[in-house]
Amino acid sequence: MGVEVKPWAPLTLGLTVAYSVALGRRALLDVQGGRPFFRGPGTEGLRDSAPFLTPLDERRTVVNVSFGAEYALNDTYAAYVGFWTDFSPLTSQQFKNLSDQGFVLATGEVDLYHVVVGATRTTQRSLIAAGVGLSQGTGTTQSNADITATGNALGLTQGGRLIERHESFFSVSLLLGYTYFF
């Protein structure tokens, strides 16, 4: 849902709110059970590989917002500023209370915040835009599988160890756009 208002002539403001509903735990694939699939170390006694091959996933309710402002300096130039959130619908709770029905996909519960500033130059036949975007976020990633620096896979057995990492994210983006009006 969004709204755009023009409180006075050179200024335009916009606000949006995005709501994503929670989804309960679901199997992403319907795997036919009763057959062993994997053979080798760690799979001794495995008679049914369906839990090992069935990825489970779930999502939490998320509300993201964005805000933007445009200020027209004149008919040719305009300045922009914007802010938006990108909250993760994934939750570390997916790894709690696991059953033998499948495995949980790796989660990245990292919430991001973005800011952008820029300007445009409009002529009769074109528009040129330039800006800078900054993004920052922190959170946790969890997985029961990991690839080591030597290429070995760890934690691939049912109920294997949980690998949890604190993540920090920061980026700077340079934005450049060109539009030609036909």
| Res 29: pLDDT | 82
The total of structural domains in the chain comes to 1
Q: Residue 127 CB: number of other CB atoms within 10 A?
A: 14
**pLDDT over threshold 60, residue 123:** yes
Average pLDDT over every residue of 95-110: 68
pLDDT digits (tens, 9 = 90+) for 41-70: 665 666 676 776 778 778 889 999 999 999
Residue 4 belongs to some domain of the structure: no
Residue 36 in any domain: the answer is: no
Average pLDDT over residues 171-182: 96
Structural domain contains residue 1: no
What 3-state class would DSSP assign to 75?
A: coil
Is residue 57 within 8 A of residue 94, CB to CB? The reply is yes
Question: Does residue 29 lie within any of the structural domains?
Answer: no
Q: Which residues does 33 contact at the CB level (< 8 Å), separation at least 6?
A: 48, 50
d(CA 157, CA 151): 17
The per-residue pLDDT for 27 is 82
Q: In which domain, by residue range, is 131 found?
A: 9-19+51-180
- What does the alpha-carbon distance between residue 138 and residue 49 come to, in Å, rounded to a whole number? 36
Mark out the alpha helices in the chain (DSSP H runs): 50-53
Mean pLDDT for the stretch of residues 118-130:
96
Other Cβ atoms within 10 Å of 87 Cβ, number: 20
Q: From the CA atom positions of the chain, what is the Rg in Å?
A: 24
Q: Are 114 and 139 in contact (CB under 8 A)?
A: no
Residue 87 placed within a domain: yes
- Give the mean model confidence (pLDDT) for residues 29-47: 66
What is the amino acid identity at position 167?
Answer: E
Cα gap 179→170, rounded to integer Å: 29
